[in-house]
Chains A and B, each alone.
Chain A
Amino acid sequence: MSGPALLTIEDVVVELPTPRGNLRAVDHVDLSLGAGRTLGIVGESGCGKTMLSRAILQLLPKKAKLSGRVIFDGQDLVRLNAEALRRLRARGIAVVFQDPMTSLNPVLTIGTQLVETLQEHLELDAAAARRRSAELLAAVGIPAPEQRLSQYPHQLSGGMRQRVAIAIALSCEPKLLIADEPTTALDVTIQAQILDLLAREQRRRHMAMILITHDLGVVAGRADEVAVMYAGRVVERAPTPALFKNMHMPYTAALLAAIPKIEAAPHTPLAAIPGRPPDQTRPLKGCSFAPRCRNVGDQCLRSKPALTTAETEGHCYACFHPLKISAGVSA
Chain B
Amino acid sequence: MLGFVARRLLYLLPVLLAVSLLTFLIASLLPGDLAYVILGDQATPDKVAALRHDMGLDQPIWWRYLGWLGHVLVGDFGRSFRTGQTVLQAVTERLPVSFELMLLAELGALIIGIPLAIACAVRAGSAFDRFVTGTAFSMLSVPAFLSAILLIYFFAVELRWLPATGYVPFSEDPLGNLRCFVLPALTLALGEWPVLMRVLRSDMIATLQEDYIAMARAKGLKPSRILLVHALKPSSLTLVTVTGINIGRLMGGTVIVESIFALPGIGRLLLGSIYTRDLIILQGVVLCVAAGYVLLNFIVDMLYAVLDPRIRHGHA
**A, B co-complexed:** yes
Residues of B within 8 A of A107 (CB): 233-234, 307-309
The reply on A195 being an interface residue by CB < 8 A is no
Contact: B215 with A86, CB < 8 Å? no
- A22 contacts partner chain B, Cβ-Cβ < 8 Å: no
> Is A94 in contact with B218, judged by CB distance below 8 angstroms?
yes
Give every chain A residue within 8 A of B308 (Cβ-Cβ).
106-107
In the complex, the answer to whether B211 meets A95 with C-beta atoms within 8 Å is: no
Is B309 within 8 A of A106, CB to CB?
yes
Of B10-18, B82-90, B220-228, which stretch is located at the interface?
B220-228
B50 part of interface (Cβ distance < 8 Å): no
- For the complex, is A198 an interface residue (Cβ under 8 Å from B)? no
Query: In chain A, residues 71-114, which have Cβ atoms closer than 8 Å to a Cβ of chain B?
Result: 86-91, 93-95, 97, 99, 102-109
Q: Do A89 and B229 touch across chains, with their CB atoms under 8 A apart?
A: no
B230 on interface, CB distance cutoff 8 Å:
yes
Chain A hits for B214, CB < 8 A: 59, 97, 103
Render A265-279 as a binary contact track against B, CB cut-off 8 A, 1 for contact: 000000000000000
Q: Is B210 part of the contact surface with A, judged by Cβ < 8 Å?
A: yes
Which of A4-12, A116-124, A225-233 lines the interface with chain B?
Answer: A116-124
Contact mask for chain A residues 151-167; partner B; CB cutoff 8 A; 1 contact, 0 none: 01011000000000100
* Chain B residue with Cβ nearest A117: B219
- Mark out the residues of chain B between 286 and 315 whose CB falls within 8 Å of any chain A CB in the assembled complex: 307-310, 313, 315
Contact of B225 among A104, A106, A116, A155 (CB under 8 A): A116
Which size class do A's interface residues fall under? 20 to 34
Across-interface contacts of A155 in B (CB, < 8 A): 313
Contact B310 A108 (CB under 8 A): no
Which among B216, B217, B222 is the interface contact of A105 at CB below 8 angstroms? Answer: B216
Shortest Cβ distance from residue B239 to the other chain A in the assembled complex, whole angstroms: 14
B4 within 8 A of A: no
Is A117 within 8 A of B221, CB to CB? yes
A-facing mask of B230-273, CB < 8 A → 1, else 0?
10011000000000000000000000000000000000000000
Q: Does A42 contact B (CB under 8 A)?
A: no
Instruction: Give Cα A106 to B221, complex, Å.
Output: 17
With A and B bound together, what is the CA distance between A120 and B226 in angstroms? 12
| Contacting pair A95 B210 (CB below 8 A) | no
B81 interface hit (Cβ, 8 Å): no
Bound complex: CA A88 to CA B219 (Å): 9
**B231 to chain A: closest residue by CB:** A105
Is B211 touching A103 in the complex (CB atoms < 8 A)? yes
Known: A103-B211, A106-B212. A88 touches B220 (CB 8 A): yes
A106-B309, A107-B234, A165-B215 are known; give 14 further A-B pairs, CB within 8 A.
A86-B222, A87-B220, A94-B218, A95-B215, A95-B218, A97-B211, A102-B210, A102-B212, A104-B212, A105-B230, A109-B309, A117-B220, A154-B309, A155-B313
